[in-house]
Amino acid sequence: MSVVDLAYAEQGDGRPVVLLHAFPLSRVVFDEQARGLADRARVVLPDLRGFGESPAGDDEPSLDRMADDVAALLDRLGLERVVLGGLSMGGYVVMAFLRRHPERVSAVVLMDTKAGADPPAARENRLRVAEAVLEQGPRALRPMLDALLGETTRRERPDVVDRVTAWLDAARPDGVVWAQRAMADRPDSTATLAATSQPAFCVVGEEDTLSPHEEALAMAATFPREAVVHVIPRAGHLTTVEAPGPTTGALRDVLRHV
Ligand code: MLT
């Protein structure tokens, strides 16, 4: 078992906030939030292993490894406790982190994600996509686009559609395959959230079909101190990119309350 030295970017000064990106993307999904929070927070954006500029590991796929990589990055940066947020797959890593390193989290932000494990059909589909990416490369990910972006973005924001398409095409097959296997094996995290006493916040795009807002409400109600939920209008699954202003506003609200 080994830790991967994660590439990261950081911006700003103040309370440390670490944001973990979605699959199969990289830290760039939080560029706008880093800019928008920099006057009040030190925002750290890692690339999870196998994505962006971070190397892939050679361990068995498990989100626990990604969580431990993040803990090692906090050690490198001298950060004892942080506000930890994650978008979709990043949220699954946050939940793994809460199991393994709860004392290092001062507040939790779950964005467009869900607590449940994959039902069998979703799990099989992940493994099929992993095989397809091994055979055809990242273009096998193109069908994800419609699910990642909300209806409004697909209709009105060709610039965002093009940007996310380019990101999908740049995904690295080794990282994609490893992460699909890791996500397929993730446990149900409901008990983890129920045992998390830190302040918690959920952010979800109104048009998210992958992690619909009912999931956010269910997660919010699971925390012992019910989480505040921000529903972002006219955004799908990639809220940070589709509606950067309102999503940054939600994160600024989190910082006001912690
Ligand atoms: C993501 O956006 O990270 C993915 O939709 C997560 C998943 O595949 O469950």
Predicted confidence (pLDDT) per residue in 218-240, tens digit: 999 999 998 999 999 999 999 99
Going from the Cα of 23 to the center of ligand 1, the distance in angstroms, rounded, reads 5
Going from the Cα of 22 to the center of ligand 1, the distance in angstroms, rounded, reads 6
Residue nearest to atom 9 of ligand 1 (CA): 89
Residue in 119, 105, 113, 117 with CA at minimum distance from that of residue 220:
113
Q: Which of 123, 210, 211, 215 to mutate to test the pocket of ligand 1 (most atoms within 8 A of CB)?
A: 210
In this model, does residue 79 exceed pLDDT 90?
yes
Residue nearest to atom 6 of ligand 1 (CA): 89
Ligand 1-lining residues (CB < 6 angstroms): 22-23, 88-89, 183, 210, 237
Q: Which of 20, 21, 23, 29 to mutate to test the pocket of ligand 1 (most atoms within 8 A of CB)?
A: 23
Going from the Cα of 87 to the center of ligand 1, the distance in angstroms, rounded, reads 8
Q: What pLDDT is attached to residue 226? A: 86
In this model, does residue 75 exceed pLDDT 80?
yes
| Spatial contact of 75 and 222, defined as CB atoms under 8 Å apart | no
Average pLDDT (155-172) is: 97
Going from the Cα of 214 to the center of ligand 1, the distance in angstroms, rounded, reads 16
Going from the Cα of 210 to the center of ligand 1, the distance in angstroms, rounded, reads 8
Average pLDDT (54-78) is: 97
Q: Report phi then psi at 52, rounded to 5.
A: 55, -125
Average pLDDT (176-203) is: 97
Residue nearest to atom 7 of ligand 1 (CA): 89
What does the mean pLDDT of the chain come to? 97
Tell me the three state secondary structure of residue 19: strand
Q: What pLDDT is attached to residue 149? A: 98
| Distance of alpha carbon 82 from alpha carbon 45, whole angstroms | 12
Q: What is the pLDDT of residues 9-64, one digit of tens each?
A: 999 999 999 999 999 999 999 999 999 999 999 999 999 999 999 999 899 999 99
Segment holding 208, helix H or strand E: none
Q: What pLDDT is attached to residue 1? A: 76
